[in-house]
């Protein structure tokens, strides 16, 4: 496959892939806007309604002399592993962001506010305070992503999918909502893939959600069982075994069951994006897709896209990026209409197994929550961007996945 625009252009535009109307571009510091999909004011971290790129575009613009210390601390990004360590100790939490759900804190200003954990001085108050000995390095991420890539034996082969990508447009044209492709994206998919256990378990989950935010999700006993079946099946694969082995070696999880329980919470735990409690989850947003205020959000999965296109519910419009891979999985960033609602740019792996996407997004959320996570697939650089849901938590202050999607590498 070919790259239809220079990678540098895609890099500059990658954060806009979530949609211009959901971006803080040119909006940092504006007042609360009731009609906006998301906010870019100084109070949005506290209320949990920031746009997805708020941390990247706006926190650097904040005046450090402005007298709002609590908000300043809340706006800082959390260190990679702080979501997965004890909230009552500073072990592995030095320099973390302020989190009101934690009983004590380990950031640079906790002494000023008198809310440091008891072991702050012994663990953080020394020379080299900013060093994190337990951080997962970029090189380690690239190595494990290559191992996951090689382990994906359930991926599509070249003959399993025939793509018709048609028109490539520039990033500046994505807001035009013009259908530049007269034919579907998928000319052919070998649906025998879908009989594989992880594919079948994944597909069973896709229709368990109301796509409109504001409608609470109420799962039946069978639907809850389908979540467990999916986790059971993916954990049987070499892909997820590689991921667990790596995270276990990194001291993130002491047992496979602890890992599975955390995956279930972070991906399937419900939170509210609208007016009703429990109307969304990371899995619904990323893999099934949602509609909020008349626009498509999330929806980053090729299987879901193919099945909806086959039913006549998705109309493929164009693409702005076609990855360099000559086999599957590949990456495509595309524009489309989903049953009357537009997606300005939706990036997705093409031809990957469900466990492959689930593994890479989980890896990046655990290792680089709220940041760009630089990976390597088949010798090519790639990056994944994740966002944490900051309004509610589970367990001892752990955060749910808000979204995860592919962006171009910043290498």
Which one from 343, 385, 398, 399 is the annotated catalytic residue?
Answer: 343
Which one from 42, 102, 155, 300 is the annotated catalytic residue?
Answer: 300
For residue 277 the two structure tokens come to 């409690």
Cα 32 from Cα 43, distance rounded (Å) = 9
8 Å CB contact between 48 and 37:
no
Cα 79 from Cα 196, distance rounded (Å) = 37
Residue 75 sits at the vertex; the CA angle it makes with 9 and 296, to the nearest 5 degrees, is 50
Cα 377 from Cα 90, distance rounded (Å) = 35
8 Å CB contact between 364 and 373:
yes
8 Å CB contact between 264 and 227:
yes
8 Å CB contact between 205 and 231:
no
8 Å CB contact between 372 and 410:
yes
Cα 5 from Cα 279, distance rounded (Å) = 37
For residue 268 the two structure tokens come to 């399937």
- Residue 300 is among the residues annotated as catalytic for this protein: yes
Cα 120 from Cα 133, distance rounded (Å) = 16
For every residue of 71-112, DSSP letters joined together read: HHHHHSPPPTTGGGS-TTS-TTTTTPPP-TTSSSB-STTHHH
Give the residue from 187, 239, 183, 205 showing the smallest Cα distance to 352.
239
For residue 53 the two structure tokens come to 């790129």
For residue 214 the two structure tokens come to 């504001």
Helix-strand-coil split of the chain, %, nearest 5: 35, 20, 45
Q: How many CB atoms lie within 10 A of CB 398?
A: 19
- Residue 285 is among the residues annotated as catalytic for this protein: yes
Q: What is the largest CA-CA distance in the chain?
A: 65
End-to-end CA distance of the chain: 20
- Residues with a catalytic annotation lie at 285, 300, 343
């Amino acid at each position: 496959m070919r790259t239809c625009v220079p990678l540098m252009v895609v890099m500059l535009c990658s954060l806009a892939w979530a949609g211009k109307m959901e971006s803080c571009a040119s909006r940092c510091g504006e007042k609360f806007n009731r009609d906006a999909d998301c906010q870019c004011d100084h109070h949005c971290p506290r209320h949990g309604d920031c746009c997805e790129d708020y941390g990247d575009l706006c926190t650097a613009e904040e005046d450090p002399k402005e007298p709002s210390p609590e908000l300043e601390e809340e706006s800082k990004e959390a260190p990679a592993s702080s979501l997965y360590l004890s909230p009552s100790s500073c072990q592995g939490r030095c320099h973390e962001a302020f989190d009101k759900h934690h009983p004590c804190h380990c950031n640079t200003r906790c002494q000023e506010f008198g809310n440091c954990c008891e072991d702050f001085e012994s663990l953080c108050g020394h020379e080299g305070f900013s060093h994190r000995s337990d951080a997962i390095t970029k090189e380690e991420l690239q190595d494990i992503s290559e191992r996951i890539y090689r382990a994906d034996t359930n991926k599509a082969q070249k003959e399993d999918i025939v793509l018709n990508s048609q028109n490539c447009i520039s990033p500046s044209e994505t807001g035009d909502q013009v259908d530049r492709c007269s034919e579907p994206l998928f000319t052919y998919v070998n649906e025998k893939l879908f009989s594989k256990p992880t594919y079948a378990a994944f597909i069973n989950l896709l229709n368990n959600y109301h796509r409109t935010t504001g409608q609470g999700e109420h799962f039946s006993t069978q639907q809850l069982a389908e979540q467990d079946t999916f986790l059971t099946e993916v954990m049987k694969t070499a892909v997820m075994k590689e991921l667990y082995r790596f995270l276990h070696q990194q001291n993130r999880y002491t047992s496979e069951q602890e890992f599975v329980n955390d995956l279930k919470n972070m991906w399937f735990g419900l939170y509210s994006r609208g007016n009703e409690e429990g109307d969304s989850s990371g899995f619904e947003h990323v893999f099934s897709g949602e509609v909020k205020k008349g626009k498509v959000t999330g929806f980053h999965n090729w299987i879901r896209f193919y099945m909806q296109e086959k039913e006549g519910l998705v109309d493929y419009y164009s693409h702005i990026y076609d990855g360099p891979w000559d086999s599957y999985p590949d990456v495509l960033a595309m524009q489309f209409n989903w049953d009357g609602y537009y997606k300005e740019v939706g990036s997705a792996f093409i031809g990957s197994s469900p466990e492959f996407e689930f593994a890479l997004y989980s890896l990046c959320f655990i290792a680089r929550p709220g940041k760009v996570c630089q990976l390597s697939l088949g010798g090519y650089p790639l990056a994944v961007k994740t966002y944490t849901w900051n309004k509610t938590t589970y367990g001892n202050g752990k955060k749910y996945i808000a979204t995860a999607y592919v962006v171009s590498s910043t290498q």
